[in-house]
Amino acid sequence: MTTTVEEERALRFGPGWLATTVVAWLVTAVVALALVVYALGPMVQSGDQRAALAGIRGEMDRALGASQSLLGAAPATTPVEFGAPVAVLEVPSLKLRQVVVEGVSSSETASGPGHVPGTSGPGQPGNSAVVGRYSGYGGPFASLARLAPGAEVVVATPQGVSVYRVSDVVSRALDEDGDYGKTDDDRLTLVTSTSWWPLAGSQATVVTAKLEGRPFRPTPQNGRADAQDGRTGDAGAWAGVVLSFGGFVVAAAGATLLYRRWRPVSTYVITAPVLVALAALAALSLWRLFPAWA
């Protein structure tokens, strides 16, 4: 019994082949997401940290020069812009050093731990809160739960260096009013997720550290919206997700057809760079939808 060309083509491109192809590309997309966030993400974060460190060092040098002038350093009159560096945070016992940026949206914590708007500035009177990622983009705060009471936390800002001493380390549901609210003492509150799972948003590791010595003069701070607590993603990332994933689907479909009709090596050379770039963009955009402390 013989089969016609049309029947052979129907068997070759039938439902089974289509399902296998779709599953293969879905697995490829998931693997790309993991590789981008856990392999490329740390490199992206490291580059952002280097740029932020250079920026805040310049501010520190300018502040030092102004403080030694006859008129002294002029006090700040406006809050720091979102995404700009505000402090260098160092925890010697964890071998951790990170530049803290202003804001706790997903895009901001991708660059480094974020200072919670509406809380005191690092080293200043009151409660200064900082949120960092547990797993994505290098997971700078993944080891917070290992801190023990008495551990030292050092914060450097253009105003000077402040030393905090850890007084409490707990894992519980985030108390937004208590953890980010005003306090009678001068403290630093460090917050991250308790889980590597990107969508985890209920439980937090909260570290409280008390300031040793006197605080610096307070400066103007940004106000905080309800969603700026580290547990939410960036809704503005949806446009990037749709465009990048749409481009990836179209490119994947085109690559699949080329593989069936053309030389595999030539098809790979042409399509692989496009697919890798689109997969990276899709992964980075998708991760911005997850909680900012993930």
Residue 289 and residue 237 in contact, taking contact as beta carbons nearer than 8 Å: yes
As a whole number of angstroms, the distance between CA 280 and CA 1 comes to 49
Residue with tokens 């700078």: 140
With CA atoms as reference, report the closest residue to 32 among 279, 244, 252, 273: 279
| Whether residue 134 sits in one domain with residue 30 | no
Residue 230 lies in a domain: no
Residue 272 and residue 252 in contact, taking contact as beta carbons nearer than 8 Å: no
| Whether residue 269 sits in one domain with residue 151 | no
Residue 153: its H or E element: strand 152-157
| Whether residue 182 sits in one domain with residue 80 | yes
| Whether residue 146 sits in one domain with residue 46 | yes
As a whole number of angstroms, the distance between CA 28 and CA 23 comes to 9
Residue 15 lies in a domain: no
Tell me the residue ranges of DSSP E strands in 55-104: 85-91, 96-102
pLDDT tens per residue across span 222-242: 987 767 888 888 888 888 888
Distances (CA, A) of 187 to 24, 82, 125, 168, 197: 51, 22, 8, 11, 29
Token pair in block for residue 263: 């030389």
With CA atoms as reference, report the closest residue to 26 among 205, 249, 176, 186: 249
pLDDT tens per residue across span 74-106: 677 789 999 999 999 999 999 999 999 999 999
For 200, residues 6+ apart whose C-beta sits below 8 A from its C-beta are 193, 194, 291, 294
Confidence label for 11 from pLDDT (cuts 50, 70 and 90): very low
Residue 217 lies in a domain: no
| Whether residue 115 sits in one domain with residue 148 | yes
pLDDT tens per residue across span 261-270: 777 777 767 7
Question: Residue 29's pLDDT is what?
Answer: 67
Residue 108 and residue 102 in contact, taking contact as beta carbons nearer than 8 Å: yes
As a whole number of angstroms, the distance between CA 160 and CA 102 comes to 18
Token pair in block for residue 183: 């306090």
For 32, residues 6+ apart whose C-beta sits below 8 A from its C-beta are 276, 279, 280, 282, 283
pTM of the full structure:
0.84
Q: How many domains does the chain have?
A: 2
| Whether residue 169 sits in one domain with residue 93 | yes
The residues pairing with 99 across neighbouring beta strands, listed in sequence order, are 88
With CA atoms as reference, report the closest residue to 219 among 154, 159, 153: 159
Residue 294 lies in a domain: no
Residue 112 lies in a domain: yes
Q: Dihedral (C-alpha) 165, 171, 176, 182: value to the nearest 10 degrees?
A: -20
pLDDT tens per residue across span 238-265: 888 888 878 888 887 887 777 777 777 7
Q: Which domain holds residue 264?
A: 22-39+235-287
| Whether residue 252 sits in one domain with residue 122 | no
Confidence label for 5 from pLDDT (cuts 50, 70 and 90): very low
- 278/18: higher pLDDT: 278
As a whole number of angstroms, the distance between CA 78 and CA 185 comes to 24
Percent of the chain with pLDDT over 90: 51
Query: What average pLDDT does the structure give for the chain?
Result: 86
- 35/118: higher pLDDT: 118
Angle at 286 between CA 206 and CA 97, to 5 degrees: 40
